[in-house]
Amino acid sequence: MPRHPGGLASLLIVSRFTGPDRDAALDQQILLHELTHGLTTRIAGGPNVIGMSGSAQAQGLGEGFGDWYALALLSSSGRGPSGVYGMVGWPGYHFLKDLVTPPFEYAFEDNYYYGLRRYPYSTDRAKSPLTLSDIDPGQYHDDAVPMSPFWVSINNYAIANGSSAVAVDEIHFVGEVWALALWNVRAKLLEALGLEYGNEMTLQLVTNSLLSLSQSPTFIDTRDALLMAGRARTGGGYVCAIWNGFAERGLGDSAVTPSEGSTSGVREDFSLPPGCTQSSQCPDLVVQSIETPALAAGQSATVTFRLRNWVLRPQSVLGVTADDKHMLVECFEENHTKELRG
């Protein structure tokens, strides 16, 4: 799809797939993916620029957003995030010939499992193993999880003919990692809010986050934009759920991506920031406000902490204690320390 800044018309043209004659215009995932480019390129960076451009990271993020919006918009009840979802299944049947083994027939029949990506989309890393370091050519994991035979055939053919396998910083490959990170974030919000409202909230937060992106953002820029959108929309609710989803794909608190947009030199991290917990029991019990009176030397007073539960399930607070730096919330026999920011 040609990418134009706001105010200029764009034209979406899709092609027919070979093998069996299948028109890409009949595949909803393809259309939503391509139309998402129109959304992200016009919003990111503001008016009169082409957003999601200028670097492999930014272009990869654009591809990842395209896959993620298509999957999220087409989700329905009973299709949980731990399932397996191929991206572009129907047109992919027999799309590629076996390029290595005679008689070189059309052989790709795992189209509904893999789609046309290396792995299907799932929160299950035994099926979708990619994490942040997999955008870095120097750190790509050669996982035991089977890659789509579609890409195995392409890479084997390239190597057999003296070329290299498709580089892991190819923008669609980079996009797979970002789409998986968003898929995990969505899963955490579905867990907290239920399928229908959780999906709606995630779509809204992701869309809101685009407004604060530069023309050529990095993975960390884009992660932080979503966290900021979560804070702005809910006053702090869901932030730990968002962090948990990102951390599961290596975009944790100490993760680093090169500022210049290269995909080399990535440092993935699976840790959470202070105040968040891997526990699903009460990660969204947040400090909404702190009321502290002015005290003279030697005086004491009552400090009021207002907590808000941002998830659907009830959460019982057993007790709250604090010192001058941290508040300790005790709930469900687990202690959760939150840094005071008042």
Tell me, letter by letter, the H, E, C secondary structure of the chain.
Answer: CCCCCCCCCCCCCCCEECCCCEEHHHCHHHHHHHHHHHHHHHHCCCCCCCCCCCCHHHHHHHHHHHHHHHHHHCCCCCCCCCCCECECCHHHCCCCECCCCCCCCECCCCHHHHECCCCCECCCCCCCCCCHHHHCCCCCCCCCCCCCHHHHHHHHHHHHCCCCCCCCCCHHHHHHHHHHHHHHHHHHHHHHHCHHHHHHHHHHHHHHHHCCCCCCCCHHHHHHHHHHHHHHHHCCCCHHHHHHHHHCCCECCCCECCCCCCCCCCECECCCCCCCCCCCCCCCEEEEEEECCCCCCCCCCCCEEEEEECCCCCCCEEEEEECCCEEEEEECCEEEEEECCC
**Domain boundaries for CATH 1.10.390.10 within the chain:** 16-247
Task: Please report the pLDDT score of residue 144 as a whole number.
Answer: 85
Say how far residue 70 (Cα) sits from the centre of its chain. Answer: 13
How do 16-17 and 22-23 pair as beta strands? antiparallel
Task: Please report the pLDDT score of residue 337 as a whole number.
Answer: 47
Residue 320 φ then ψ, to 5°: -135, 130
pLDDT mean by block of 10 residues, the chain; 342 residues: 63 74 83 93 88 92 97 87 88 71 72 90 95 93 83 78 82 96 96 89 97 95 96 83 95 92 93 70 48 67 58 53 55 43 40
Task: Please report the pLDDT score of residue 266 as a whole number.
Answer: 95
C-alpha 40/C-alpha 63 separation (Å) is 10
SS3 assignment, position 85: strand
End-to-end Cα spacing for the chain: 47
Task: Please report the pLDDT score of residue 3 as a whole number.
Answer: 60
Task: Please report the pLDDT score of residue 150 as a whole number.
Answer: 81
C-alpha 196/C-alpha 193 separation (Å) is 8
Does an H or E element contain 336, and which? strand 334-339
CB–CB of 257/291 below 8 Å? Answer: no
CB–CB of 87/110 below 8 Å? Answer: no
C-alpha 226/C-alpha 328 separation (Å) is 27
The domain covering 16-247 belongs, at the CATH homologous superfamily level, to Neutral Protease Domain 2 (1.10.390.10)
CB–CB of 278/271 below 8 Å? Answer: no
Task: Please report the pLDDT score of residue 269 as a whole number.
Answer: 96
Burial environment of residue 5 by CB neighbours within 10 A (0 to 12, 13 to 18, 19 or more): middle
Task: Please report the pLDDT score of residue 177 as a whole number.
Answer: 98
SS3 assignment, position 205: helix
Alpha carbon distances (Å) from 156 to 128, 152, 301: 21, 6, 72
Cis ω for the linkage preceding 103 (within 30 of 0)? yes
Q: Which of 4, 151, 7, 3 is nearest to 63 (CA)?
A: 3
Q: How many CB atoms lie within 10 A of CB 322?
A: 15
DSSP character at residue 256: B
